[in-house]
Amino acid sequence: MNENEGEMEWRWDDTKAEEATGAEAQRMMDGLLARAAGVPTATREEAVDVIMGRPHVGEKRETEVLHVRVPKAWVAQIDRTAGGESLSRSELLRRLIGGGLQRTQA
């Protein structure tokens, strides 16, 4: 326990460590990611979407369009970043906003 904040402090425990490589390691991590997203049957992509605030397949969620003004220089940077990650501008912005909201709520 962290006495100052009353929170659990995570510590590595060698006795609980498991070694995995290749496809086996990927399957294990995909399972952990899906469980973290709360959708045990999710694919890796679906789990990331849920964690970033996007609904998973079959979930009905109301959405709303936001119109935001940003400096022109940001647009080029957003487009470069989105292209480098093979994302649309909208998807990149959703992920950035979702991640920022999660950090402020933590």
Average pLDDT per block of 10 residues along the chain, 106 residues long? 61 88 90 81 77 64 82 94 87 85 80
Instruction: Write down the pLDDT at residue 55.
Output: 61
**What are the residue ranges spanned by the domains of the chain?**
1-61, 64-106
Instruction: Write down the pLDDT at residue 40.
Output: 74
Q: What angle do helix axes 44-51 and 22-37 make, rounded to 10 degrees? A: 40
Instruction: Write down the pLDDT at residue 2.
Output: 47
Structure tokens at 51: 């964690």
How far is 13 from 16, CA to CA, in rounded Å? Answer: 6
Q: Whole-model pTM above 0.85?
A: no
Written out in words, the top-level CATH class of the domain with range 64-106 is mainly alpha
How far is 49 from 90, CA to CA, in rounded Å? Answer: 13
Instruction: Write down the pLDDT at residue 7.
Output: 66
